């Protein structure tokens, strides 16, 4: 798991600076419907108004205030020399 500033505890301390007078509470957690990515909603009262932030778990185990990029279907290709590929196949057949 990635440590440092991307642990959930350290991000909550950074964004909320919780203390006994203004504690931070997890008010919601779960998975996003489509991507199944984990999230946590943390709330506190800062200077008499409610303050909430969603934190999202990324694939490397870190937590961030933004969701990881949505993975799109992808296709890849590589160029091959057709003449070389055919001659290799023919030589393999003749060797057998």
Q: Which tens digit of pLDDT belongs to each residue from 36-72?
A: 889 999 999 877 788 899 999 998 889 999 888 876 6
Structural domain boundaries enclosing 56: 4-95
**Contact call for residues 26 and 55 (beta carbons, < 8 A):** no
Using the Cα atoms of residue 49, residue 50, residue 56 and residue 57 in order, give the sign of their dihedral. Answer: positive
d(CA 1, CA 3): 6
How many domains does the chain contain in total?
Answer: 1
Report the alpha-carbon distance of residue 38 to residue 52 in Å, rounded. 17
Which value, in Å, is the radius of gyration of the alpha carbons in the chain?
A: 25
> Is this model's pTM higher than 0.85 or not?
no
- Consecutive H or E run containing 74: none
């Amino acid at each position: 798991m990635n440590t440092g500033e991307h642990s959930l505890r350290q991000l909550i301390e950074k964004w909320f600076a919780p203390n006994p007078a203004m504690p931070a509470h997890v008010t919601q957690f779960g998975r996003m419907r489509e991507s199944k990515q984990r999230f946590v909603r943390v709330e506190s009262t800062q200077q008499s108004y409610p303050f909430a932030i969603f934190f999202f778990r990324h694939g490397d185990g870190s937590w961030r205030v933004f969701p990881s990029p949505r993975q799109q279907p992808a296709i890849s290709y590589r160029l091959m020399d057709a003449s070389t590929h055919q001659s290799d196949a023919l030589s393999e057949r003749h060797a057998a």
